[in-house]
Amino acid sequence: MTEFKADAAFEAGSVFAVDWPLCQIRLQDDARFPWLILLPRVDGAVEFDDLTPPQRAALMEEVVRAGAVVRALGLAAGRPIDKLNTAALGNVTRQLHIHVVGRRRDDGLWPDPIWGRPGARRLFEADRELLLRAIRGA
């Protein structure tokens, strides 16, 4: 088995948080939203049907778990989440991945989609470390 490697696009815009049973969990480096990316550690996976049925079931459980983590991050920041956005787009990066993003009615892009929109603000290092500890403890 080869060592799992995240696509370079993920390395540039997010940071490794933790490995769950199926997925590598990454924190998107954007202070505007609590935002996790799940990367199934399955060589060559591009689409859901590249996963076995048990892997697809595990992925769904990890997406639900990520949603709970995103909600907890919003609460911890004093900004409860109004809506979880979950998406597997893959138009730019083929590697199978799922975004789980906490949205609020008062965020700067509401109600529009966040994908490909300018204005990302990198997390301060101290904030990034706090978020990573929270994710790893979840």
* Secondary structure of residue 94 in the 3-state scheme: coil
Could you give the CA distance from residue 77 to residue 64 in angstroms, rounded to a whole number?
20
Entry pTM: 0.94
Q: What is the pLDDT of residues 30-42, one digit of tens each?
A: 999 999 999 999 9
Could you give the CA distance from residue 117 to residue 91 in angstroms, rounded to a whole number?
14
pLDDT tops 60 at residue 1: no
Average pLDDT, the chain: 94
Q: What is the pLDDT of residues 87-117, one digit of tens each?
A: 999 888 999 999 999 999 999 999 999 988 8
Which has more confidence, 78 or 3? Answer: 78
Cα-trace Rg, the chain: 14
